Amino acid sequence: MALPSQGKDKDTLLAELQTYKGRDVNWQEGRTFAYVYDPGAEAMAVGKAAFSSFLTENALDPTVYPSLMRLENEIVGFCASHLNLPDDGVGTFTSGGTESILLAVKSARDFARQTRPEVTRPNMVLPVTAHAAFHKASSYFDVELVLVEVDPVSFAVTPEAMAAAIDEQTVLVVASSPGYAHGVMDPIAAIGAICETRSLPFHVDACVGGWMLPFWRRLQLADGMTDVIDAFDFEVKGVTSLSVDLHKYGFCPKGASVVLFRNKTLRNAAGFACSDWAGYTVVNPSVQSSKSGGPLAGAWSVMRFLGDEGYMAITDRLRQATLALLEGISAIDGLEIMGQPAMCMFAFTSTEFDVFHVADEMSARGWYVQPQLGHTGPTGQRYAGNVHLSLNSWGTLDRVTPFLADLQDAVQAARTLPDVRPNAEMGQMLQAMAGQTLSGDELMGMLGLMGVGAGEQGAELPERMAPINRILDAMPAKMNEAVLSGFMGELYAPAR
Ligand SMILES: Cc1ncc(COP(=O)(O)O)c(C=O)c1O
């Protein structure tokens, strides 16, 4: 596709851009339970205006743009005070949860390189529910994964299982508060105590919970509850780093997360510097080098626009919506909430009908809920496929009643729909293919059989995803990764 020979005017382009959004999931109506966090129109507008006012400035060099350094120090300051970071603790603003996690893992690996020469094959110990970003960090930084099964009923890892998995090559221990999949907290204080005794770095992935949980706990206390959210931040002595995403439950524009470190030594180990080339000296505390000021200004403004009061108000609305939804969903025959969710995100499943049919039926009724495939853990423990909901919008509270009515109908419809699980023969065939490498054509052939293709405007997916989700669910994880990566590879092709 060649660049147009003549430029076009701004209004035409902006109008054209809007038409590109035509097939996107519509989050504006509060019917999308993933991906977008909407604090209401006013706060959103503040974030957008602030973001564009700093879009051009570059945080690459704080001596050239001291405004960006100031914004970063103040944002990290808000997080430090919110999450009990000790006085000599520090932090870095990053583009998102994944980047924060990459830095925490690099910090642990490089800290071990500096202090423990006996470590030759570094590993990190983490529950199977820890976010895939740790798997990415493992592959980027060559830190082996030691995956620990979680309790099959609570979906939280046990401190005993974590302790048993640690060995002399362990450089990092990880737990979540909460994990994304089921919204369940790991026992942070108990794992922290183990790490403190063994002098091991301990990262708490509070990407989703870090900003909201302290507000949630205050609301629980105000309700007179005694069984409130446990300590999960630097209050726990063993915690050495923590990631908190501001572009999730901080409701800031995307590209905003913070990773906090208990001390400068650990943060230094996450950073990178190079003057051994012919150009300017690079000193990067984060993965990015050139870095737009937009996300910094957007986050700073939304946080200050909302303030403590604003966050308490949003958390209150989302908590009310969550409690009503949990009660409503539990009352629907055949649906089960998985574990005890800590905040406004959770998953449900069923042993009586296919929850992937329920997800399709909800889509047909104009809701987006997120199907999550089943998973087999390292010892063969099976985690059931489910449907995930993240409550994420100021408007969600007003949608609880219609959502529950549609869910009830969707369940009734799912009960009448056929079983789309692969039969035993096909299941065996899929398992037998584990470890085989498929060519691009074979992958596309397989996707084509499943009704999936790459169209001119992106993914061409069939209306009903349950049959595909069931095949993916039955595949070994590695094959699933290969098939979906192949699919993504077809989607991203230069426009001709
Ligand atoms: C618990 C947790 N950690 C890490 C991440 C990765 O964050 P991001 O998508 O911002 O890179 C997510 C994303 O949902 C998450 O839920």
What residue's CA is closest to ligand 1, atom 9? 97
Strand partners for 123: 144, 170
The CA distance from 394 to 404, in Å, is 18
Q: Say if residue 259's pLDDT is above 90.
A: yes
Domains in the chain (CATH in brackets) are: 50-299 (3.40.640.10), 424-491 (no CATH)
Identify the pLDDT of residue 84: 98
How many CA atoms within 13 Å lie on the side-chain side of 425?
0
Identify the pLDDT of residue 297: 98
- Predicted model pTM: 0.96
**Pairing of β 123-127 and β 144-148:** parallel
Q: How far is CA 258 from CA 205, 276, 493, in A?
A: 11, 29, 33
Identify the pLDDT of residue 445: 76
What is the pLDDT confidence band of residue 457, given thresholds at 50, 70 and 90? low
Distance 207 CA to ligand 1 centre (A): 6
Identify the pLDDT of residue 444: 73
Mean pLDDT of 450-468: 78
Q: Say if residue 451's pLDDT is above 80.
A: no
Q: How far is CA 36 from CA 12, 310, 394, 455, 482, in A?
A: 27, 18, 11, 25, 27
Strand partners for 170: 123
Question: Tell me: the pLDDT tens digits for 277-327?
Answer: 999 999 999 999 999 999 999 999 999 999 999 999 999 999 999 999 999
**Does 467 sit in the ligand 1 pocket, CB within 6 Å?**
no
Mean pLDDT of 376-394: 96
Distance 280 CA to ligand 1 centre (A): 33
**Does 403 sit in the ligand 1 pocket, CB within 6 Å?**
no
What is the pLDDT confidence band of residue 402, given thresholds at 50, 70 and 90? very high
Identify the pLDDT of residue 447: 75
* Helix-, strand-, coil-residue percentages of the chain, each rounded to 5: 45, 15, 40
Q: Say if residue 365's pLDDT is above 80.
A: yes
Question: Tell me: the pLDDT tens digits for 479-489?
Answer: 888 888 888 88
Pocket test for ligand 1, best of 94, 140, 180 (most atoms within 8 A of CB): 180
Q: How does the average pLDDT of the chain come out, rounded?
A: 94
Mean pLDDT of 380-385: 96
Distance 189 CA to ligand 1 centre (A): 22
What residue's CA is closest to ligand 1, atom 2? 207
For residue 126, give every residue at least 6 positions away whose Cβ sits within 8 Å of its Cβ, in sequence order, or none: 134, 145, 146, 147, 148, 173, 174, 175
For residue 410, the tally of other CB atoms under 10 A from its CB is: 24
Nearest to 267 by CA among 285, 242, 246, 290: 285
Pocket test for ligand 1, best of 129, 131, 174 (most atoms within 8 A of CB): 131
Mean pLDDT of 226-248: 98
The CA distance from 108 to 202, in Å, is 9
What residue's CA is closest to ligand 1, atom 13? 97
